[in-house]
Amino acid sequence: MWETNWRLLAPWNEAKITVPVKFIAGDKDIGVQSFGVEKYIKSGEFKSTVPDLEVAVIEGHHFLQQEQAERVNSEIISYLVRFTSQEASS
């Protein structure tokens, strides 16, 4: 089954994500701590795949929206405000 999925996804191999992206993760999240993900984020490889990327690694675990609700909301709102202010100036 996985082999079939890899074949179907082959046309997008090495494709870049070209829309703006805000990535928020917890510094103690097992997903960030595993499989070289933290190195991928910090080394700039992530940014090479997602050129318009903004990363926020904040104190917390996997459920940041519960652990750090105000901080996560602040990160999201400040990110979205960038687009509304750009629209207003256009």
Alpha-carbon distance of 79 to 21, in angstroms, equals: 9
Q: Where are the domains of the chain?
A: 17-89
pLDDT score, position 65:
94
Residue 9 backbone phi and psi in degrees, to 5: -90, -5
pLDDT score, position 26:
95
pLDDT score, position 9:
84
Contacts of 1 (CB under 8 A, 6+ apart): none
pLDDT score, position 69:
96
pLDDT score, position 13:
85
Q: What is the mean pLDDT of each run of 10 residues along the chain (90 residues)?
A: 73 90 95 92 92 95 95 96 73
- The model carries a pTM of 0.78
pLDDT score, position 10:
85
pLDDT score, position 2:
54
Contact of 84 with 52, CB cutoff 8 Å: no
